[in-house]
Chain A
Amino acid sequence: MKKTLSLVLAAIMLLGCLSAVACSKATYEIAIVTDVGQLMDKGFNQGTYEGAKAYAEENKKTYKYYQPANGSNATDEDRIAAMRQAINNGAKVIVTPGFLQETAIKTVAKDNPEVKFIFIDGWDLGLDNVVGVSYKEQESGYLAGYAAVMEGYTKLGFTGGGGGSNPACNRFGFGFVQGAAAAAKEKSVELGIKFSFQNGASFSASDALQSQISGWYQNGTEVVFACGGSMFDSVKAAAATYENAKIIGVDVDQSYESDRVITSATKGLAASVKLMLAKFYDGKFEKGGVTLGAAEDATGLPTDTFSTLKTWTLAEYNALYAQIKNGTLVPDSETPTDCNSAAWLTDWLTKGGYTNVTLSFE
């Protein structure tokens, strides 16, 4: 009898402990799962985190970030583990930046249909609880190209990452040419653009890229749009040996990295994450893919450091931006899947009547 009683008591106590733990266990509704590398990377992870944090704090939601194990060598397994941990901690919505998340999202989203996934810089994965958010990079590129020509530069360069097969880089590059061509037509100046995907296949810095870009600066190119991660570093090294060489940055405001940066073609990660979270909490979560652009303040040039542009004013920028925003000006978003040929761009320029642009493809 005593034994039974003590057993029952022990069982009750055990249950009590467990339930106490369960109750006191904090839950976090919004989870941010980074892809590779550090949270505060001044790029994708940071932008996503800041957006989610801002939304959560404004709307009194709980949030937590999860960094997959193994840092920059994180594998799909690590990302899957991080997402499962987030769901165990009560996540209702998981925000994940970067194309590397595809496999992890597919795996975890199928097992957890009640949890929603926001796939930043991603695409439609064909799952009911996943939304892929992509950007109209061509708008940022357009604005950057327009700004460069309005600033008085007539010899431009574009070096892109991904070897011509990365859709985001291609859209940035083609937008850049479109914007520059439009501004040149307006000002009726002759424009020379060098365009290359040659040394950026792995998005990394190299002496080869440095040599190529030095060659451009040597032969009169005034400003180079460095479109692809660490490629910026090599363009910066090339610019260091030419007094007046200028650079256009990408993704985030890169004027903090070099005084040669005149502007950056950015993606408003924080703004778009806030927007998507608001949609989720308003019950307007829609599966599939959304493409955000100027209309959602998700593309553009950084206005905080606009003073790096000397001639073109913020007011003029705002006027142009408003045109893109309300749809009167639509930069062409179409790009071929493989951009290692100038044919498409040349055709586009001819069709648009941009006769004062000389495009040299490398």
Chain B
Amino acid sequence: MTFLIQQTFICTIPLLIVAMAGMFAERSGIINIALDGIMIFGSFGGALTVYAFIKSGLFTESPQLIYVIAMIVSAIAGALFSLLLSFSAIKLKADQTIAGTAVNMLAPALVLFVIKIFFMQDKLVMPTLPGGKTLNFAILNTELPEFLQAFFSRAYISTYIVLGLYIALSVFLYKTKTGLRLRACGEHPQAADSVGVSVSAMRYLGTTISGALGGLGGFIYITTSAGGTAAGSVAGMGFLAIAIMIFGNWKPVGIALGSFLFGLLRCIGSAYASIDINGDGVFLLQEIGLPMYFYNIIPYAAVLIVLMFTAGKSRAPKAEGIPYDKGMR
């Protein structure tokens, strides 16, 4: 059980933050299909920061500090990269889906190009410290009582940061003036403009927050799932997150439910043979003897089923994907 909770967090957190990223862009009226590319670029920014710290020997005795700084850098990298999308979508009024696809294609190419030119490798691997030690970002509190271990052991500090960000951003979107304006720009930008809200400023804000969260999510993903190796790929997590966002009906609560449900099922799907729910040493899911494919299908099948019942109520921001034109009322 403890193991399942720990793993669920690892599977869920990147999805949660990237789905939130998608929500921020879309609620401001910009379809952000570029999340996958932004994640890739952000993950590279973070990995590069870790690399620089290790090579320069700074703060190497406090890995958590390096991890937090790298997370900030990855968010900045993601935000900067998302400007490509927001500039083309807002200033140039380009088709957002096409602009996003272009960003998605650019990101892995650019990242791999830089890695190859400067590191002569196919992927940027987190180097070992002088003396052969590996920097470890995971928090191990194995002496805690079992119940607390589920939440505070074999975990990453990013989990708590993301949960904090999730609450702060939800409050921001629903309880502040700026949040209201941002949402208005995604529903009826002409109305927002008529009361003096700058639609392009709000859309830039939404997309930039989206980029920052996407970059952060990308770096968290490669750290928790790939040992901090930036390889120009996040295994399609960006698209998965977009699906979760739609599943969550463009609302924070729905997104949280969706990503936890999906994270949990995905985790069961891949580690079913090691899950011992009640701690009696019987691995029930493996004992049943179903083929592994069955467990691998579960998360996707479950999401499809839930969507079948909830899709009727699903409602996207009304003005998303439409470049704002003052002349159209």
Contact = CB atoms under 8 A, between A and B. Distances in A.
Given A204-B233, A212-B270, A234-B225, A259 B121 contact: no
B160 to A, nearest CB: 15
B291 to A, nearest CB: 9
A177 B233 CA distance: 32
A241 B229 contact: no
A199 B267 CA distance: 12
Interface in A60-111: 71-72
A357 interface: no
A236 B274 contact: no
B113 A71 contact: yes
Interface in B137-154: 137-138, 140, 142, 154
A38 B121 contact: yes
Nearest to B237: A207
B276 A260 contact: no
Nearest to B229: A233
Interface string A14-43: 000000000000000000000001111111
Contacts of B221: 207
Contact of B227 (A40, A206, A234): A234
B contact residues, range? 35 or more
Nearest to B15: A207
Interface residues of A, number: 43
A259 B128 contact: yes
Given A204-B233, A240-B136, A258-B128, A214 B271 contact: yes
A207 B125 contact: no
Contacts of B312: none
Contacts of A41: 120-122
B125 A211 contact: no
Contact of A233 (B134, B140, B227, B269): B227
B201 interface: no
Contacts of B120: 38-41
Interface stretch (A113-121, A134-142, A215-223, A329-337): A215-223
Contacts of B112: 71-72
B128 A257 contact: yes
B27 interface: no
Given A212-B274, A219-B274, A230 B134 contact: no
A212 B296 CA distance: 12
A-side interface mostly: loop
A255 B138 CA distance: 20
Contact of B121 (A42, A198, A218, A255): A42
Contact of A208 (B6, B138, B155, B270): B270
A205 interface: yes
A242 interface: yes
A211 B5 CA distance: 11
A209 B225 CA distance: 8
B11 interface: yes
A210 B292 contact: no
Contacts of A198: 270, 292
B115 to A, nearest CB: 8
B247 to A, nearest CB: 18
B11 A258 contact: no
Greatest chain B CB density within 10 A among A232, A255, A257, A360 is at A257
A205 B128 contact: no
Contacts of A212: 270-271, 273-274
Interface of A: 37-43, 71-72, 198-199, 204-212, 214-216, 218-219, 230, 232-234, 236-237, 240-243, 255-260, 360, 362
26 contacts: A43-B122, A205-B222, A205-B225, A207-B14, A207-B224, A208-B266, A208-B270, A210-B226, A211-B10, A211-B11, A211-B270, A214-B3, A215-B274, A218-B3, A219-B276, A233-B229, A234-B227, A237-B225, A243-B140, A255-B132, A257-B128, A258-B134, A258-B227, A259-B132, A259-B133, A259-B134
Interface of B: 3, 6-7, 10-11, 14, 112-113, 116, 120-123, 125, 128, 132-134, 136-138, 140, 142, 154-155, 221-229, 231, 233, 235, 237, 266-267, 269-271, 273-276, 283, 286, 292, 296
Given A41-B120, A205-B231, A257-B125, 5 more contacts: A38-B122, A205-B227, A214-B274, A215-B7, A240-B138
10 closest Cβ contacts across the A-B interface? A215-B274, A236-B227, A215-B271, A205-B226, A208-B270, A40-B120, A241-B154, A207-B225, A233-B226, A233-B229
